[in-house]
Amino acid sequence: MTGQTPPIHEATIHEATIHEALWICPVAGEPIANGAMAIQGGRIAHVGTQAELRDLPGVRVRHRGAAAIIPGFVNAHTHIELTILRGFLGDVDFTDWIRRLVRVKYQHMDREAFAVSARLGAIENLRAGVTAIGDAMDIGTAWEAALEYGLQGVFYQEVFGPDESVWSESLRGLREKVARYRSSQTATFRIGISPHAPYTVSETLYREAGAWAREEDLPVAVHIAESREETAFVRDGGGPFADALRARQIAVTARGRNPVAYLDHLGLLRPGALLIHAIEIDRAEIERIRSAGAAVAHCPKSNALLGHGVAPVGDLKQSGIPVGLGSDSVASNNVVDMFEEMRAAVFHQRLRAGRVDALSARDAFRMATLGGAQCLGLDASLGSLESGKRADFAVVDLGDLATQPVYDPVETMVYSACRANVRATFLGGMAFNREGSDLVRQAQDIAELLRRSR
């Protein structure tokens, strides 16, 4: 995509709404000073300068002032059903974090709590300028919340079952859950599946779920190569994950290969597959990912908080692998702020490589928008401001003291802005205005109950 729009024909812009701002940042092209964007029928009709669109008959003009209009962020990896656990799991190592998460989810939360959690997470994303997510969901309330508020994306129904004896039951449950969602799919609101991770999914369940997804043309996302503990589990059949499964009388087998190679061996490394985290990988595995046509969701802040390390994003991008940015759950990040994720991505890669050119502000901005849309297979409709795409966009205030002066709008946003600078979020050309105080009260009541469960 070039970012160029076709010549203006007044008939096609008639009765459109035109949004003017100091900057339009289309991603598919360079930022446009004193830009304007015409919206008609929920889609982008034209992107250009204010002079190009000025004085057209029958249009409504909305002046956004000292702001940048950007594509809605695409948060490539979330768990909005876990929003209620923000700050609950504390500073513990990953295996304890997982253990506590599982306990509170299945022993102390009911469907109503998950519904509040997902709705809170959906609103948080939208108010932070995120208009599409790649969500790994368990209960299904993430799908319902996104449908209610208009949040787009791919919702990957998780499946679990580390014991080989239960793979058929787990797969049957997965099929039933996916069937419930398929009738409400659209081109930009899709259901997929997520066999969770190597330490929660047996080899047979991996194979069978992957084969079924292929037959049904379902997107697949997998948490993979996230931690040293996971690598030890897959390659050597050792470490804390192996110990925990053996304590439950579940057999553990050393695979003799690293996690990405294990996925490839099982047939899950294929075009369109989304690999979440991909930290513990080497150059040979990067080549495997590239050859397979898979993509990577990079979660820099979550990776750092859990002490997992820094994914080789510069190498992934240099190899031509699509990379998107994700916040992960706020249980391992605490806040949805794609500006913070962009900054973290740039800073971590420069520290890792010891070079300023390891990742640029424009690289990070693309990862948070069009790159994320590519990872989710939605880039034909989302992720950039181009004629014909959905009018999903955000207005970012650049008049704040903390963003002044502005020499380059993309660098200013990546290095200086935060989610508080998001002035408005638009879905299909309509402003999202939902206020969440009722959910905050419900969340506080649930949090009090969970606090007692510690």
Span 198-229, pLDDT tens digits: 999 999 999 999 999 999 999 999 999 999 99
Task: Specify the 3-state DSSP secondary structure of 297.
Answer: strand
pLDDT attached to residue 213: 98
pLDDT attached to residue 172: 98
- Sign of the alpha-carbon torsion through 405, 383, 75, 317: negative
Query: What letter does residue 83 receive in the DSSP assignment?
Result: G
Please enumerate, as own/partner, the contacts of 238-241 that have beta carbons within 8 Å and a separation of 24 or more.
Answer: 240/95, 241/95, 241/199
CA distance 109 to 100: 13
pLDDT attached to residue 2: 41
Residues 6+ apart with CB under 8 A from 208: 167, 168, 171
Q: How far is CA 82 from CA 75, 103, 221, 383, 441, in A?
A: 15, 13, 18, 25, 17
pLDDT attached to residue 12: 59
pLDDT attached to residue 14: 64
pLDDT attached to residue 3: 46
Q: In which residue ranges of the chain is pLDDT below 70?
A: 1-14, 454
Asked whether 234 and 262 are in contact (CB, 8 A), the reply is yes
Question: For 310-329, what is each residue's pLDDT tens digit?
Answer: 999 999 999 999 999 999 99
The residue count of the chain comes to 454
Asked whether 294 and 302 are in contact (CB, 8 A), the reply is no
Helix (H) / strand (E) element for 412: namely: helix 409-416
